[in-house]
Amino acid sequence: MSDLENIEHPETLATIELPILDRAGKQVDTLKIDPADLGGHIRFALLKQAYVITHGNQRQGSARTKGRGQVQGSTRKLYKQKGTGNARSGPSRTPIRRGGGHAFPKLRTREAFRTSLTKRMRRLANRNALLAKLVDGEVKCMVDLQMEAPRTKDMVSLLAGIGIDRTCLVALHTENRDAALSARNIPNVDTIRVDQLNAFEMLNHRYLVIDRAGLESFLDGSCFPKTATADDAEKEVA
């Protein structure tokens, strides 16, 4: 994101006019986006924090070594404390002996490495990552991404027509299964549901490909499941 570093006053970003492309890569319309809806300016510290936390939470956390309490063997003292002329010795499971346990065994589970963001920070980071992509011109908004049948060749030609030559993240609706099947076998191309777009995935790919309906639903929040409120609960009871 080298272009972002040259912005002296990121808080004064003007309205973004995003071209709407057809399958041939020609502009057919324009979508105006207010940067204030996506955080107003690029928050580099927040984006880095969200990326590092998400990446760390993917850690498998299955590294295990046995301490002196887990290895097989007796706890009996090898020989008496005095009178043998040898150095003092404990059981055979001590770390200094062959087959003994580790002095500092790896026992932490996956949960020990997990960290989290607050809901407000996570949502702002997701929207801010989209703003960063828009400022860099790395969002390709299509009229639609519907496929008549799952066919990899059609998706390859579509991406080539809009100038995709690097890693790409294709955001799709849940019901758009044919497009997901068409893109899953293409190298450097990943798919994601619109309601699951996050800062980590957007920053991990050079381009974001999304249709107009999906982008508008992300901006107005209609793609996300509605959270039940107390009023809704009262209506259900009534």
pLDDT value of position 9: 46
Instruction: Examine the pLDDT at 123 and tell me if it is beyond 90.
Output: yes
Place of tokens 């990552």: 129
* 29 φ, ψ (degrees, to nearest 5): -165, 175
Instruction: Examine the pLDDT at 207 and tell me if it is beyond 70.
Output: yes
Would you list the domain boundaries of the chain? 2-42+115-220
162 alpha-carbon distance from chain centroid = 24
Query: Residue 20: helix, strand or coil by DSSP?
Result: strand
CA distance 60 to 230: 38
Q: For 35-58, what is the mean pLDDT?
A: 94
Rg of the chain over Cα atoms, rounded to whole angstroms, equals 27
Q: For 156-168, what is the mean pLDDT?
A: 94
Residue 11: pLDDT band (50, 70, 90) is low
Q: For 159-169, what is the mean pLDDT?
A: 94
Q: What pTM does this model have? A: 0.79
Residues 6+ apart with CB under 8 A from 55: 200
pLDDT value of position 235: 45
Instruction: Examine the pLDDT at 128 and tell me if it is beyond 90.
Output: yes
Q: What are 91's two structure tokens?
A: 């059981």
Residue 161: pLDDT band (50, 70, 90) is very high
C-alpha count within 13 angstroms, C-beta hemisphere, residue 187: 2
CA distance 3 to 24: 27
pLDDT value of position 61: 85
Query: What are the pLDDT digits (tens) for 172-205?
Result: 987 889 999 999 999 999 999 999 999 999 999 9
Residue 13: pLDDT band (50, 70, 90) is confident
Q: What are 93's two structure tokens?
A: 């499971």
Give the architecture (CATH level 2) of 2-42+115-220: 3-Layer(aba) Sandwich (3.40)
Place of tokens 């709407």: 20
pLDDT value of position 225: 82
